[in-house]
Structure formats: C-alpha cells, structure tokens
Amino acid sequence: MLIKKFLALCLFLLGFQVYAQTEIPGLRIKDEKTGKTLPLRIQKLDIQVKVLGRMAVTTLTYEFINETPRVLEGEFVFPLAEGRSVSRFALEVNGALREGGVVEKAKGREVFESVTRAAIDPGLLEKVKGNSFRARVYPVPARGTKQLLIAYEEELSFSSQGFLYQLPLNYAAPVANFSAEVSVSGGNPELVAKSGFKGEFKSISSGFVYETRLKNQALTRPLSFKVIPEKESQTLLQTDSDTGKTYFASRIALPAMAEKKTLPETLTLFFDTSGSASSRNIEKELDLLEGYFKKIANVKVNLIFFS
C-alpha cells in the first residue's frame, strides 16, 4: 500500500488541471454596452464526414449572419476532444473560401494585425488551453454573412459494438439551413439510439452514405453512429480516390503472441497529471501498480510527474 499512498499524496499536492469542455462552437462578438460576448446566429451549417476504416475526417462549413448595421470583429471558438487535430481552416474572402496556412504563432499575429490595418479579410486560428481553437475574424460585414470552414481528423475508438463516431451539437437557437452527409467505407454503419437524427445509411458502390437536410432546426443532440467492422481475423484493404489520387487503408489482424519477461531491477514511471487525464480511473491505476510492485518485490522506481 506504500506506493499507492505515496502517489495519492503527490497527486493531492500537485492538483489536477481540469478543463471542462463547456464551450459551444461558434462566432462571437462583444457587446459594447455590457462587455459580454454574444453568439452570431448560424444562417447555414454544412457537415461532411468521411470514414475510411477507422479514420474519420469531419469538415464543418459555417455561415454566420450579422444582423446589425455595423461591421463587426468576431472570435470563432471551436473546442475539440482529445485525440482530434485540426487539418484545415478556411475563411470567406470576396465571396469565396480562402484556405489558411500554418505559421508560427508570433508570425501569425503579426500578419493578422498588418492585414487588418490594410482592410484585408484576415483569419487567425490559434490553439489555446486544452484542445480548443480560437480564430479572430474581421470584418463581418454589416447586415451580411461570413463563412468559415474547419476540418479535423480522428481515429475512431473501438467498443464492443464497433467503431464509434460522435459529433456533439449544442445549438439551441434554430439553424436556418442544416445539411449533413456521411460516407463510410470499410464497415457497416448505423445511427446510434442517442443520435438526434433519423433515417438510415444507404448502400452505394463505394460503401454507405447518409444524408439529411433540416430547416429552422435547433441542434441539441449529437450526430452519432457506429461502424461494425468485418471479422477481426480478416485482412482488410479499402481504397478511395480524391482529387485524382488513390489512397488506401488496411487493417491486418496479427496473431496474439506472449512470452515471459524478465522482471526489472529499475524502472521509470511517468504519471500524467494534466487536465486531459482528469477523467481517468486513478484508483484502478493505483491498484494495478500495487499488484505489479508486489509481483516484482524489490525494484528501484524513478517517479516522474508531467502535465
């Protein structure tokens, strides 16, 4: 019990940095009278999801409407769950989406300020605490609209029911025009019960597709579906074509192998105390370590905490 008590004491002294993902994606403006940030209404939202094997790419295209008589500067907020990474960002310029590039943070801010002074439409997407992303957007035209596109990639988690995809949607204000298209290759998909969407996937030559379109609809439930893979014993290969190039993804079932390991005399234990680890079952981890150290009996441990 000594190692368990020691770790628990260290965690208490260090404390966990808990970042709750309570932010709702959207474009916000600052109210000059109250100083509070207010969301701009979503005029249109289009979602494209592409699943190949267990990899998924999600692309969201927003169209925000500025109903005020003045030009606004806004802040686009987009929180992401751990394990997801932004792969694309584009901003509407002169009626068309212009793709963004990746630069160092200081350079990005410098460019943003310089083009703002030159009255050119800039967009600066930065990663902030946790796995959230923010973009300063200017200008949002008076009594006009502004489009933003953001895409991210993820590896779907596997459960007893298959690979699970979930896109949280938390827009209580009705979205005037909403559309979603999901294409899946390499498994049999179906919407899960807790999803806020109706219908079913249709079989096509390249896999399966799901489409939905809604008018003036509040989006308060997730877009969620599971993909049931083929037999794990099979070696699967899926191919897909995009922009004239062919890509492939494979899943190869490897035979289980086991061998007896020599017990260590010295080991280094890295223990994560960051906010992303706050939902872990620490008690279960400590029980596992306790049992492992009992089996080793005598060992030198280098304990390193990191965040």
Q: What integer is the mean pLDDT of 94-122?
A: 63
Asked if residue 163 lies in contact with residue 157, where contact means CB atoms within 8 angstroms, the answer is yes
Whether the predicted pLDDT of 194 surpasses 50: yes
Residue range 21-43: average pLDDT? 80
Mean pLDDT, to the nearest integer, of 74-82? 89
Contact, 151 vs 57, CB < 8 A?
yes
Confidence of residue 6 (pLDDT cuts 50, 70, 90): low
For the chain, percent of residues with pLDDT exceeding 70: 79
Q: Residues 169, 170, 172, 177: what is their CA dihedral angle, to the nearest 10 degrees? A: -30
Lookup: tokens for 153: 């990639």
pLDDT in tens, 236-245: 566 666 667 8
Q: Is pLDDT of 205 > 60?
A: yes
Looking at residue 20, its pLDDT comes to 36
Q: What is the pLDDT of residue 17?
A: 40
pLDDT by residue (tens digit) across 260-298? 888 889 999 998 888 777 778 888 999 999 998 888 888
Residue 120 clears pLDDT 60, i.e. is over it: no
Distance CA 148, CA 123 (A): 9
Task: Say what the pLDDT of residue 102 is.
Answer: 59
Task: Tell me the pLDDT of the chain averaged across its residues.
Answer: 81
Residues 6+ apart with CB under 8 A from 70: 142
Please give the C-alpha separations between residue 97 and each of 42, 52, 62, 161, in angstroms, as whole numbers.
17, 26, 11, 38
Residues 6+ apart with CB under 8 A from 170: 24, 219, 220
What is the distance between the alpha carbons of residues 213 and 86, in angstroms, rounded to a whole number?
25
pLDDT at 48: 97
Predicted model pTM: 0.69
167-176 pLDDT, tens digit each: 999 898 999 9
Nearest to 40 by CA among 143, 115, 118, 182: 143
Q: What is the mean pLDDT of residues 225-253?
A: 70
Cα–Cα dist 160/255, whole Å: 20
Predicted local confidence at residue 21, as pLDDT: 42
**Is pLDDT at 153 greater than 60 in this prediction?**
yes
How much is the pLDDT for 7?
Answer: 56
Q: What pLDDT, on the 0 to 100 scale, is given for residue 19?
A: 35
Asked whether residue 156 carries a pLDDT value surpassing 80, the answer given is yes
